[in-house]
Structure 1
Amino acid sequence: MKHCLIVDDSSVIRKVARRILEDLDFEISEAEDGQKALNICREGMPDAILLDWNMPVMDGLEFLNTLRAEPEGERPTVVFCTTENDIDHIARAIRAGANEYIMKPFDRDIVAAKFHEVGLID
């Protein structure tokens, strides 16, 4: 079973994403900020990370830059999931190493389509 780390400061978003991803046969871990997510990754890299941009302690972009510099940090597929929808934010995320980008609000079909595009699900 593939492992997905959901990183978002909103417990509601984490709960919705968890339900969707468990339905898509993922094992789930959760973190409410980038620093906690980094600690989880250092214990064992997930296959995928669903990542919010705006969070306390360490935001999504800082987390992604730090993750990609870690041993095995290139391995997880990172999907930004955020309300930041301007082209500058999207370009910065892709340059930092994001594999895909989802806008909030999202639903099961959107998550499934993006995870399919990046090869995480069939």
Structure 2
Amino acid sequence: MLFQKIQSALISLFIIPVVLPFLFPEALGLSYGPSVAIYLLYAIPIVFIYGTFTSLLSEYISQKTPFRSKRMTSLVFHLIAGWLFVLPYGLMFDPSIFETGVLNFASLLGICSALVFYTVDQLLGHHFNTL
């Protein structure tokens, strides 16, 4: 399972920096190419460390839950973890990030990235028949 999560992280690293500038074109105030580079720079450690860990935790929680839909539980956990990623950063380094509310630009980036990671992981799970 860890190998699948690492593969999901690698594939997501090719998708996330390409997709986010399309979804949020004016967010960084840069053109497409530099935006991809910035997103890639930040995505590498976040996806590998935080994304892989939360995805493993999500699988564990969804297998232990009494709900019928394990995939829906995993999806919801992925989205919540993507949204919550901004919370420690905002509390420790930049509280002004919450001036626009809890559903701000950074949390939307986290949610979109978590959705990409979850989708890639589910597709790989179907490919390897681990679901």
Global fold match (TM > 0.5): no
User: What's the TM-score, normalizing by structure 2?
Assistant: 0.27
TM-score (norm 1): 0.28
Q: Flag the structure with more relative contact order, 1 or 2, with Cα contacts below 8 A and sequence separation at least 6.
A: 2
Q: Which has the higher strand share?
A: 1
